[in-house]
Structure 1
């Protein structure tokens, strides 16, 4: 009888362990963006791009699906929405209207998905995992993160034109398809247009539909934690409209790791994903 009781206790504990986490499937587009299927206000089925650099949600003017049950005020803001994504139900979600989003998406959803929880971005299995308690971190490297108005910031070392390593801060930006995008300040200080080998140039639109001239070059080295990337593809803006105030660690770099963010948002834990050695994203 004692053995049977112990077995039942073990099975019950195992059940609780399973219930201590939730899984949300996603798909990755060819532009490196993460897309989740959602239902807003129980009526509007939307494909939303996960944007790690924002907390709330937004709706794109170029959406393919109807969002008739999200009611916006004169300031193009909608409050108190309900969003169902996988097993997670979010309440009181704010949406902004008319913000451009990634290809194949109807809008964006931010980190309110994981409010107060430890969460994993598992690129190997195309899923988010939300934890009620700390997961096994064996094989992961800790990486200090900072929060600035809800944006995750990490430090990385850069080597430009044979110069010594210089630490720079990057905002994690899952909406930017490329790898590294430098701020105007870093670009001008390091004279990237002169010192880097330029391999591409294109005009892009930002979320406010403004045209931006962007150039792509080759950076000799970038170091994140103990991970070193050689001849990495990076980008920076040129021309008269220079509004890039922060540097981005974009989706092409994010996908090269599996990420676990602690509930306090003080530390991220990373290890290489199956995309770690993939060719770098190039501007077409």
Structure 2
């Protein structure tokens, strides 16, 4: 009996090691931003916005809470910080100073949360799950990802004019509350100002008098893998200032799927979440 019990215990321990995981709870703001409650250097309690397009962390000049125990050098960098989130402790976290974050956030934190492991963004249950190896993804669809300069890129098909699909790369951008935000080049090449239904616009000028017009529009269809989203909120810029160099896949679209990312960052697995058919976020 003792030998049999020992074997069962050993077998159970082996299964646990294979599927070992850690869970990080989060909350979602009305602006679609993910907020993680953290304790930094055992002193500063901070609400940090998860930014999938960065690796390290940063502090916002508009923070509501004190960050007195994060010591920055002349280059506004702070090394070797500890970040505690529930039972999880991250060591040697780098913070940058004076980077704007989303609503309700004291700063940002990126994929350092996951330590180079496979991870899941579970919008259905408001949690991240970190895995020692890729979990069971039989109900998910794999899509290729490209990881470059701290950002994940995916390919999606845009139906702009009739039934013609325009393939484009998008950066996953959880810091942008809206849906799609197109690059200046894509907007100009595809004549989005003429071909999409415009729902609003705003003109801004800088100190030199140069203007930029932000336009909100509706994309008839967006295909991500085998999933099709209809009447997607999309923005783009026209005018003298052309600073939007990449296409964004924003937080309003990210939340419409649950995501699993491989440790090698070459594949993501997606499945529609409970938000898939929710009304689209209105960008001001």
TM-score bracket for this pair, using the shorter chain length: over 0.9
Moved more, 237-246 or 120-129: 237-246
TM-score by length of 2: 0.92
The question of 1:196 aligning with 2:196 is answered: yes
Structure 1 residue matching 2:234: 3-state secondary structure: strand
Q: Residue 4 of structure 1 aligns with which residue?
A: 5
Q: Residue 255 of structure 1 aligns with which residue?
A: 255
Q: CA deviation digits over 1:131-188, x for unaligned, max 9?
A: 0122111110001000111110000111112262111000000000001100000011
| Contact 1:201 1:283 (8 Å CA) reproduced | no
Q: Which runs of 4 or more aligned residues in structure 1 lie more than 6 Å from their structure 2 counterparts after TM superposition?
A: none
The question of 1:95 aligning with 2:95 is answered: yes
Q: Residue 186 of structure 1 aligns with which residue?
A: 186
Q: Residue 207 of structure 2 aligns with which residue?
A: none
Moved more, 259-268 or 155-164: 155-164
TM-score by length of 1: 0.92
Structure 1 residue matching 2:164: 3-state secondary structure: coil
Q: Residue 35 of structure 1 aligns with which residue?
A: 35
The question of 1:240 aligning with 2:220 is answered: no
Structure-2 change in CA distance of 1:3 and 1:79 (3 Å): closer
* Mapping 1:122-201, distance limit 5 Å: 122-162=122-162, 164-201=164-201
Structure-2 change in CA distance of 1:57 and 1:222 (3 Å): same
Give distance in 1, aligned partners of 2:58 and 2:167: 33
Q: Residue 118 of structure 1 aligns with which residue?
A: 118
The question of 1:275 aligning with 2:275 is answered: yes
| Contact 1:259 1:270 (8 Å CA) reproduced | yes
The question of 1:220 aligning with 2:220 is answered: yes
Q: Residue 68 of structure 1 aligns with which residue?
A: 68
Aligned residues, how many? 278
| Contact 2:256 2:276 (8 Å CA) reproduced | yes
Q: Residue 49 of structure 1 aligns with which residue?
A: 49
Give distance in 2, aligned partners of 1:84 and 1:258: 24
Structure-2 change in CA distance of 1:152 and 1:15 (3 Å): closer
The CA RMSD over aligned residues, in Å, is 1.9
| Contact 1:61 1:99 (8 Å CA) reproduced | yes
Give distance in 2, aligned partners of 1:151 and 1:87: 27
Give distance in 2, aligned partners of 1:65 and 1:203: 33
Give 1:16 shift: 4.0
Unaligned runs of 5+ in 1: 205-210
Give 1:283 shift: 1.8
Unaligned runs of 5+ in 2: 205-210
